[in-house]
Structure 1
Amino acid sequence: MNSLVTPSDISDHMPSRSLQLLRIKLVLSRFRLQQLLLLLLLILLLLLLLLLLLLLLLLLLLLLLLRQQLLLLLLLLLLLLLLLLLLLLLLLLLLLLLLLLLLLLLLLLLLLLLLLLLLLLLLLLLLLLLLLLLLLLLLLLLLLLLLLLLLLLLLLLQLLLQLLLRLLLQQLLLLLLLQLLLLLLLLLLLLLLLLLLLLLLLLLLLLLLLLLLLLLLTTTTTTTTTTTSTTTTTTTSSTTTTITTTTTTTTTTTTTTTTTTTTTTTTTSTTTTTTTTTTTTTTTTTTTTTTTTTTTTATTTTTTTTTTTTTTTTTIFYLKKYFFMIGHNNYCISLHV
């Protein structure tokens, strides 16, 4: 019997909704830590590439001062490769940041479902703000890199133009075509800048929305409560009426007996048939209870009456003086006698 498993035991071992939410939260936190580590590695790589880019730019300036065109071309190609790598890294960083933002939003929803403390919500919102600022910085860095890339392209085109002009004895048509190409590149650059500006505006709108959420969460309202006390006396009287209806049980039994006797000289046969019919009526009891409650409220009023008693001392003084004179006269009469 102890080895049997009941449905109640299974339901006891089933995980509840809060436990499932906590497990989801733990998985999200682990994934977020991994993404943060990857983000830090990408940032380090980005810094290293930026240092290399600066070194190459210094070499480019030196070569420009020395006026060596072939080396300049090679160096520009290297710079283009580095810039492409930087752009790829920045795109990866942007994707990671977007994933982190989504994870933070999921955590916010989980916290709202679990009804945790307000401080955790505020910390998560601040972290969202920091991530958005980092996104803005990355977008600005992308803009700068794109500008630098376009400048390098323009330098390359200029060098190629000079070489082609020297090779083709300065043909005007070719020069015009190359200038048109430069104009097209500039237009593309302007379009890219406009797209990046639109992204920046969207991020600024997100920041404003988050700030509004923070303000809504941090605002508190104060209320004033006035309490008036009144002395009352309450008398409650209760009347209970019970009606009981009982149906008795009646049982009817009918018995029929048939006896047949046949007598012969040698054989006697007796047959008896018995039929029994039983009728049973069940007992039904109905109880009806009616409760009536009467509440009487009385207000107590207390009246205080203050009586002031004034004693007149002048009448008592004259009465004393009168009796004193009578006594003095009697004393004088007794002396005279």
Structure 2
Amino acid sequence: MATSKQTPQSRTDHDSTRPSASRPPRTVDGLRELVVKIGRDEADISLGGTAHTVLAKLLERPEEVAVRTITDLAASLGVNASTLTRLSTRLGYTGFADFQNVFRDSIAQRHRHFYSQQAERLVAGKTNRAAAADGGAASPEVETVVQLARESIINVEGFLSQLSPEHLRGAARMLAEAKRVRIHGLRQFSALASFVCYGLSMIRTDVALLDAQGLGVAEGLAQLQPGDVVVVTSVAPYTRSVAEAAVAAAQSGLSVIAITDTLASPLVPPATHAFLIPHESSFFSNSMGAYLVFCEGLLNLVATHLGKRSLQALERRERLITALGIEI
């Protein structure tokens, strides 16, 4: 029987399918280090060009990898699901589920210590700002505010680059034409929910916080009918009850608008329209600057859609303010 001589290329292809001899990384940072080593040919495993590129892209979106199905991820990357399965086993994992657990565990760990880690970064940066001030730069107090402002600008530019005209028009139309609108956000995002509720109630009627009277979310949802709108807002680390309210609202036939951070957010699946706003910053909690800018823009779109109705609502409000002597 004839045999063929193995070429260097065929040996490389064969080696690229064997799993790593060592235990595969159990953290996202460990995977990032492995990608660098593979690129330098310093790892005990090699990947083909496509597999290496796919792995690098997965590491750019850890939140999505943690929560999306293998089919969804493959489609977003333009590959077959089998490609992700083969990649996982090449790296030494038992399968894609084992590989995905690395991302889930890393995200859970990061969210668990989100606020203290943000504060640690803030404290660590204090020394650098003081040193810069000694070198003739602005005072550390001014530099702290300048840094936050610049970070908010970057976050604004981030959401502007991915805004969908169709989703903006659709959300504005829903908020203008629905019979009832309820806004729901808790913890820090209760402030954003109140802001949206206040602004929207200036230009239309029957707008309120979902649990304005403290009777419970279930009671608030029960007062609504199919076609009514619920706006939900939360970002990582997500408030579980807000995500559950979004799902319950959608299951009840209500229209859901989500104001959140990434496609990995649990608020995205039940939403008809989802808007993704970055919040990366040195603030010790979630940065709100970009969220306020977006919500102001959305409220302006609703007012524009309402046209004369919004103008009439504002004029009526002004007459009441004058009659009651509210403003000085």
**TM-score normalised by length of structure 1:** 0.21
Which protein is richer in strand relative to its size?
A: 1
Q: Which has the higher helix share?
A: 1
| Structure with bigger RCO (C-alpha 8 Å, 6+ apart) | 2
Q: TM-score, normalised by structure 2?
A: 0.22
Q: Which structure has the greater CA radius of gyration?
A: 1
